Structures are given as C-alpha cells and as structure tokens.
A and B are shown apart, each in its own frame.
Chain A
Amino acid sequence: MLRYLPYLLAGILFGFVLIKSEAASWYRIQEMFHFQNFHMFGILFSAIATGMLSIQIIKRMGEKQSLDGQTISIPEKAPGRVSYLVGGLIFGLGWGLIGLCPGPIFALVGTGSLGAFVVLAGALHGTWLYGALKQHLPH
C-alpha cells in the first residue's frame, strides 16, 4: 500500500486546491462562461502554462526514471475528432448546468454535499451508458 501513498498525497493537494480556488463553485463556473471574471481563466491558463513548461523541462532532461523505476514518457492521446468534439460537447452541457466537472465532483463529495453524491451517481450511470452504447456511436 505504501507505493500508493504519493498518489494519495497528490490527490489531497489537488482536492484542497479545487475547493480553495473555488473551481468547485457553481457561481465561479457561471461567472467564467459569462466572461465576467478572470479568476477561472487565470487558473486554467496558469495551470496549462505550468504543465507545458514542466513537460518541456522533462523532455530536455533526457531519459529519466519515475519513483517506481519506470522510464518517464509523455502520454499520447488516440487520434480522432468526432468523439472528442461530441463527447466534449455533451460533457460541457452538463458542466455548464451544474458547474461541476469530475475533479470538483470528488472534491465536493468530500465536503459531504448530498447534491454532489447525486451528481456522482449520475456520472457513474452516464459512464456505464457510454460503455453499453460504445459500439453504436461514431468515433
């Protein structure tokens, strides 16, 4: 179990930040989609910039090992267009309504919000529905 501790700790930091930055706030998400405040855009842009910079540094460091001894490689997404656009659109419709994407769902569940548990239950059913219908959907 000890080898999972770093993931648990990173997760705690992530959940803490999602609540403290109010990225899990319905009000902040509406404010973002109406372009009424820089706050959420600031979070997203600075997160992407930090991620990008880190990736460039990792690439320039040459071959490196992770804590558990694997060679670090930059992950690649499967090629495609339709599934990313349509899936993203469906997800976005839900996000814009209830202001919660998966990270904040888990963080808000941790605060004991009953509504967040209902959203999580819905998200699990939606995920299952996708798995059941996958072969009939354009990708």
Chain B
Amino acid sequence: METLLAWLYAPWPWYVAGPIIGLMVPMMLFIGNRSFGISSNLRHLCAITQPPQVGVDFFKYDWKEHTWSLMFVIGTALGGFLAGVVFANPDPVKLSLAAREMFTAWGFTPPTASLVPEELFHPSVRNFTLLFACGVLVGFGTRYAAGCTSGHAITGLSTLQLPSLYAILGIFGGGLISSWFLVPWMLQ
C-alpha cells in the first residue's frame, strides 16, 4: 500500500509513461473503432459554441457524433486534476544539468513543484497575451495540419502514414526555431 501511494505521488519514468500513451491507440480502436487524437476536440468545441448566425461551414456538423472524443478530453482534464492536485508530486522536475544551466542563463529561478515557470505563467497582461497568442498558433496549426502530437506522432507514425511524417517534420522544425531563437529573444 505504501509503495503504491509513493508510486502515485512520484513522477513516472519514460519507459512507463511512453507505453501507456502508445496503448491509447489500440484502446481507442477496441473501445469503438476510433482514431486516437486530441486536437479535433478544439474543433468540436468551436462547433458547439458557434452561434448559428456566424455560420463558418467548417464548424457546421453534428458534433454530438463526437461525444466520445469530448468525453476523452474531459477525462484528460480529470486525470490532470488527479495527478497534478490530488497526487501532486511535491518535488521540482529533475532536469538534466545542461537544462538547469540553460534556464539559469535565461534568468529563470530554479523550478518549483509547478510544471510551468512563474516567469511565463504568472498572471500579467504580458504573460497572458503571450500565452493566448501561442494558443492561437497551436489551435490554428493543429487544425491546418489536421492533428497534433497525439494524432500524428503517436497514431500517425504507429500506423506508418506519410502525411504524419510531414506533420512531425513541421512540428519539430517549428519547436526547434521557437526553443532556440524565440524563447531566448523573448526573455531579453
């Protein structure tokens, strides 16, 4: 019992987390012949909230057929609550030495138990403008590419699909540009 509790509070190593994430692909197929992916829910949420008089065609469909997918992300948020609040890891992220040195050079205080840095997520007009703008990029990009990390990197590559490989190249290229150039520039 003690060990189980300790396990629930501790961070999980990659060789436990990765296979569980990968198992989402066959799980969705076995539950209801569904393709595992998260970002399409952003579209469904737009379809639910779009007023009839606006009428962008892309959001005119019966979103109720995708209730299963919305239930999945409601679950994702619940799982986040359980893992991040109820069984929250009290210790900071154990980063590599190189990463710790990089964040110090960027002027960041060492990570606390929070998964996100105060420097970027603390409520302020500047931070929330940036978070919103990056959210727009994520929402626009994932729909343009018809998928995100789950739909393309996990489901797409698992099923050996060329379009997903293109998407991954784009995603990783964009991430490298941001992480190497935009983040340091933004922090100046």
Residue positions of A touching B, CB distance < 8 A: 4, 6-31, 33-34, 36-52, 54-55, 57-58, 66-68, 70-81, 83-103, 105-116, 118-132, 134, 137
Q: Which of B76, B136, B161, B173 contacts A76 (CB 8 A)?
A: B161
Q: Binding site of A, secondary structure by majority: helix, strand, loop or mixed?
A: helix
B interface list, Cβ under 8 A from A = 10-35, 38-39, 41-43, 45-46, 49-50, 56-59, 67-69, 71-85, 89, 93, 95-96, 98-99, 102-103, 111, 115-117, 120-121, 123, 127-128, 130-150, 152-164, 166-180, 182-183, 186
- Tell me the complex Cα distance, A115–B110, Å: 19
Contact A111 B84 (CB under 8 A): yes
Instruction: State whether A113 touches B121 (Cβ < 8 A).
Output: yes
Q: Cβ of B28: which chain A residues have Cβ within 8 Å of it?
A: 7, 10
**26 A-B pairs with C-beta separation under 8 A:** A7-B28, A7-B72, A10-B31, A20-B17, A27-B93, A29-B175, A47-B153, A58-B26, A75-B159, A77-B161, A81-B166, A84-B167, A88-B167, A89-B171, A91-B137, A92-B173, A93-B175, A93-B182, A102-B150, A108-B116, A110-B76, A123-B138, A128-B56, A128-B59, A129-B140, A131-B46
Given contacts A77-B147, A89-B171, A92-B176, 18 further A-B pairs with CB under 8 A are A7-B31, A12-B82, A25-B93, A27-B95, A27-B111, A31-B96, A33-B176, A46-B19, A51-B24, A54-B23, A67-B32, A85-B145, A93-B175, A93-B178, A96-B182, A121-B135, A125-B136, A128-B46
**B136→A103 contact, CB < 8 A:** no
Alpha-carbon distance A19/B43, docked complex (angstroms): 24
- Contact (A55, B24) CB under 8 Å given A77-B146, A92-B173, A118-B131: no
Nearest-Cβ distance from residue B128 to partner chain A, whole angstroms:
5
A124 to B41, CA, bound (A): 9
Is the CB–CB distance between A126 and B163 below 8 Å? Answer: no
Q: For residue B135, which residue of chain A has the nearest CB?
A: A122
- Which residue of the partner chain, among A4, A33, A85, A119, contacts B131 with CB atoms under 8 Å? A119
- In the assembled complex, the CB of B112 is this many whole angstroms from the nearest CB of chain A, namely 11
Are A7 and B18 in touch, CB under 8 angstroms?
Answer: no
Cα of A18 to Cα of B98 in the assembled complex, Å: 23
Q: Which residues of B contact A118 (CB under 8 A)?
A: 128, 131-132, 135
Known contacts A19-B115, A73-B33, A113-B116: does B175 contact A10 (CB below 8 Å)? no
Contact in complex: B116, A99 (CB < 8 Å): yes
* Chain B contacts for A42, CB-based, 8 A: 13-15, 18
| Least distance between A21 CB and chain B CB atoms (Å) | 3
Residues of A within 8 A of B174 (CB): 88-96
Q: Given the known A-B contacts A27-B111, A30-B99, A85-B170, are A50 and B23 also in contact in the complex, defined by CB atoms under 8 Å? A: yes
Query: What is the chain B residue whose CB lies nearest that of A33?
Result: B179
CB <8 Å contact, B143 and A11: no
Set of chain B residues within 8 Å of A97, measured between Cβ atoms: 130, 134, 137, 178-179, 182-183, 186
Write out the residue numbers on chain B whose beta carbons fall within 8 Å of the beta carbon of A95. 138, 149, 171, 174-175, 178
Q: Residues of A contacting B43 with CB < 8 Å?
A: 127, 131
